[in-house]
């Protein structure tokens, strides 16, 4: 019995609904396949709260009666409308603790939850069970509202062409300004600055020469470390790895107990990353954008700040120390700038020996400039990644509109493919590529003119996607998903392990669902027995047990 039918049965068994009241429900359901639970609510056959209570007992999860006030529109829109409806869910909000709250029709749909993780980048989720009718109302509310802040509704300013001279040397954004204004703009709180001029008549004795030599060696070592951090910036596009590397470098060269980067969003400073003691707990905290914290002051004024006596400094925000049971004694903090925009701040805390000075600040400025580049690049990558996700979803909708009979075929294939992939040691990138390939495996049918042409849809699908670099990794999976393990498949007659592993997995998933649709007279058990015989002929025999575990 389907879950939806179990909800109706329990409503009757517990005498919440009379059988005769369900006659119009089943008539409509038979005509348009509308879910029974939704019809019961829409036709006012039963009270919403009681239906939700029964539904939660059947589906699991925590019940939630949705209303518009519980939905943060910007969070909800991270899931495109087509995919929110496909997976029957809505993202409610992102909490201060880094959690995303989700209301969904079926909290047991792990594939839908994986999609939300991929879309939002957040793995910590709290799931609520909601009524389908409430979800539909939520979609209307979220996706029909036109945001005043949408870039298409903004009036674009007239552009003035500026002729710039080619610089003699390239510098990181903000670095030149920082160094030029460092003496004037740097604020030092606590400790004394003192400059000593050595009289020319004083000759360098052995001790002074040794001190100078050690100082030069230390400077060269630090420059070497800074050079290495620059190389890291150029060697990877993984923003998180770069940020961690830069923070570890900052902590090392400034001899601090810890270092952190706070990102500015919606007038709130969030701890994006941190190294040192209490770093994991620190990432759960946030600071308001005001002058009641050192980080807030730096972000507002766009200037570096040294505080060498935080215990007696009113500007130091004690709330973080209290929350972490940690004592901050001194801080060096610099803004993260991209042009004139403030991305956040970078800071080091608790010098292990002595106090922070101008040298520490100068090193931190260089690293902060590199961090700004990394954060900006990561933001661009996120935008491109989201763009390609939108493209995938548009392509899926186009494909399904051409073949309404096979609607949700791609989703079923993707679910089974991902379930199989979880049992194989594949990387996160390989898993993601396999999911995309499963969704788009039949995209070539768009270019097929008739049934006779369908034999070439795998090749045509690969050709369509070959123009998009983002899809390079999935092209072989799509092209060869109709190859057979014994070498009798198409388009190239590949056999065995010459067929890419992802294509072999995809072939099993699609073959199972296509075969099931082509043999409606067979029972599920009968078809499964005949399908198992294909392993070693059409399908990789090593995938047989993995497949059986997955469909269970």
Write the pLDDT tens digit of every residue in 363-413. 888 888 888 888 887 778 777 777 777 777 777 777 767 665 556 788 888
Q: What is the 3-state secondary structure (H, E, C) of 313-371?
A: CCCCCHHHHHHHCCCCCCEEEEEEEECCEEEEEEEEEEECCCCCCHHHHHHHHHHHHHH
Give me the helices (H) in 172-293, please. Answer: 175-185, 206-235, 239-253, 279-282
With respect to residue 168, please indicate whether it lies within any of the assigned structural domains: no
Residue 439 has pLDDT above 50, yes or no: yes
Cα dihedral value 317, 318, 324, 325, nearest 10: 160
Average confidence (pLDDT) over 17-41: 82
Token readout for 20 is 């005769």
Given a contact cutoff of 8 angstroms between Cβ atoms, the answer to whether 273 and 247 are in contact is yes
**CATH code of the domain containing 485:** 1.10.3210.10
Residue 160 has pLDDT above 70, yes or no: no
**CATH code of the domain containing 134:** 3.30.300.160
Return phi, psi of residue 343, to 5°.
Answer: -85, -30
Given a contact cutoff of 8 angstroms between Cβ atoms, the answer to whether 509 and 438 are in contact is yes
Average confidence (pLDDT) over 139-148: 64
Most distant pair of Cα atoms in the chain: their distance: 110
- pLDDT of res. 123: 82
Residue 365: Cβ-neighbour burial (10 angstroms; 0-12, 13-18, 19+): buried
- pLDDT of res. 106: 92
- pLDDT of res. 429: 81
- pLDDT of res. 497: 92
Which of these ranges, 112-121, 311-320, 533-542, has the smallest mean pLDDT?
112-121
- List 332's β-bridge partners, or say none: 306, 348
Report the chain's mean pLDDT, rounded to a whole number.
Answer: 80
Residue 253: Cβ-neighbour burial (10 angstroms; 0-12, 13-18, 19+): buried
Average confidence (pLDDT) over 292-296: 91
251 lies in the same domain as 354 = yes
426 lies in the same domain as 545 = yes
**CATH code of the domain containing 187:** 3.30.450.40
* Cα separation, 115 vs 100, whole angstroms: 13
21 lies in the same domain as 50 = yes
* CA–CA distances in Å: residue 351 to residues 188, 294, 357, 509: 15, 16, 10, 58
pLDDT confidence tier of residue 324, bands split at 50, 70 and 90:
confident
Cα dihedral value 57, 59, 65, 71, nearest 10: 150
Closest C-alpha to 291, from 266, 311, 317: 317
- Token pair 């019995």 is found at 1
Domain carrying residue 52: 1-59
Query: For a pLDDT cut of 70, what percent of the chain falls above it?
Result: 81
Given a contact cutoff of 8 angstroms between Cβ atoms, the answer to whether 258 and 250 are in contact is no
370 lies in the same domain as 458 = no
* Model confidence pLDDT, tens digit, residues 64-73: 998 888 888 8
pLDDT confidence tier of residue 450, bands split at 50, 70 and 90:
confident
Name the pTM for this structure: 0.51
53 lies in the same domain as 65 = no
Would you give the DSSP letter of residue 446? G
* Cα separation, 543 vs 509, whole angstroms: 11
222 lies in the same domain as 259 = yes
Residue 108 has pLDDT above 50, yes or no: yes
Give the CA count within 13 Å in the CB-facing half-sphere of 311: 5
What string of DSSP letters covers 263-310?
EEETTEEEEEEEEETTHHHHTT-EEESSTTSHHHHHHHHT--EEES-G
Given a contact cutoff of 8 angstroms between Cβ atoms, the answer to whether 260 and 274 are in contact is yes
518 lies in the same domain as 438 = yes
Last residue of a domain, one of 59, 77, 92: 59
Average confidence (pLDDT) over 183-211: 49
Residue 491 has pLDDT above 90, yes or no: yes
* Cα separation, 357 vs 191, whole angstroms: 9
Q: 109: helix, coil or strand? A: coil
Number of domains in the chain: 4
Given a contact cutoff of 8 angstroms between Cβ atoms, the answer to whether 172 and 373 are in contact is yes
Would you give the DSSP letter of residue 523? -
pLDDT confidence tier of residue 493, bands split at 50, 70 and 90:
very high
Would you give the DSSP letter of residue 469? G
Residue 219 has pLDDT above 70, yes or no: no
Would you give the DSSP letter of residue 451? G
Residue 527 burial (CB count, 10 A): 17
- pLDDT of res. 152: 28
14 lies in the same domain as 125 = no
37 lies in the same domain as 68 = no
Given a contact cutoff of 8 angstroms between Cβ atoms, the answer to whether 424 and 434 are in contact is no
């Amino acid at each position: 019995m389907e879950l939806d039918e179990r909800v109706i049965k329990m409503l009757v068994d517990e005498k919440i609904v009379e059988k005769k009241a369900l006659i119009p429900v089943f008539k409509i359901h038979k005509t348009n396949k509308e879910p029974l639970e939704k019809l019961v609510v829409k036709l006012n056959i039963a009270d919403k709260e009681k239906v939700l209570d029964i539904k939660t007992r059947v589906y699991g999860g925590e019940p939630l009666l949705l209303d518009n006030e519980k939905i943060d529109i910007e969070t909800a829109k991270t899931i495109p409308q087509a995919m929110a409806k496909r997976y029957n869910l809505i993202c409610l909000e992102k909490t201060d603790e880094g959690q995303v709250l989700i209301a969904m029709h079926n909290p047991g749909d792990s594939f839908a939850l994986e999609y939300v993780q991929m879309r939002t980048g957040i793995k910590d989720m709290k799931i609520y069970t909601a009524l389908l009718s409430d979800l539909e109302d939520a979609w209307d509310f979220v996706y029909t509202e036109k945001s005043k802040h949408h870039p298409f509704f903004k009036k674009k300013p007239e552009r003035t062409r500026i002729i710039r001279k080619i610089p003699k040397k390239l510098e990181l954004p903000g670095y030149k300004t920082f160094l030029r204004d460092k003496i004037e703009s740097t604020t030092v709180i606590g400790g004394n600055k003192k400059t000593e001029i050595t009289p020319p008549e004083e000759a360098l004795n052995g001790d002074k020469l040794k001190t100078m030599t050690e100082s030069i060696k230390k400077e060269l070592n630090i420059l070497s470390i800074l050079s290495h951090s620059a190389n890291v910036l150029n060697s990877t596009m993984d923003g998180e790895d770069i940020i961690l590397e830069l923070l570890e470098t900052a902590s090392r060269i400034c001899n601090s107990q810890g270092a952190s980067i706070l990102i500015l969003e919606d007038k709130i400073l969030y701890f994006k990353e941190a190294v040192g003691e209490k770093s994991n707990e620190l990432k759960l905290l946030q600071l308001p954008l005001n002058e009641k914290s050192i980080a807030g002051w730096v972000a507002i004024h766009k200037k570096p700040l040294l505080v060498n006596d935080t215990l007696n400094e009113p500007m130091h925000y004690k709330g973080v120390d209290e929350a972490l049971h940690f004592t901050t004694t001194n801080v060096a903090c610099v803004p993260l700038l991209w042009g004139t925009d403030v991305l956040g701040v970078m800071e080091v805390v608790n010098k292990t020996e002595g106090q922070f000075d101008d040298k520490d600040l100068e090193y931190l400025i260089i690293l902060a400039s590199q961090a700004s580049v990394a954060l900006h690049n990561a933001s661009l990558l996120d935008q491109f990644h989201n763009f390609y996700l939108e493209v995938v979803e548009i392509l899926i909708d186009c494909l399904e509109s051409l073949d309404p009979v096979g609607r949700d075929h791609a989703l079923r294939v993707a679910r089974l493919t991902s379930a199989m992939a979880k049992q194989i040691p594949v990387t996160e990138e390989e898993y993601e590529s396999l999911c995309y390939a499963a969704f788009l495996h039949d995209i070539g049918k768009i270019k097929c003119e008739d049934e006779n042409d369908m034999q070439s849809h795998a090749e045509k699908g690969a050709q369509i996607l070959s123009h998009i670099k983002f899809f390079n990794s999935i092209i072989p999976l799509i092209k060869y998903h109709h190859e057979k393990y014994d070498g009798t498949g198409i388009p190239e007659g590949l056999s065995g392990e010459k067929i890419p592993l992802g294509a072999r997995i995809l072939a099993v998933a699609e073959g199972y669902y296509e075969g099931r649709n082509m043999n409606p007279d067979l029972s599920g058990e009968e078809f499964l027995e005949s399908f198992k015989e294909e392993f070693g002929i059409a399908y990789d025999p090593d995938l047989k047990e993995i497949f059986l575990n997955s469909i269970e």
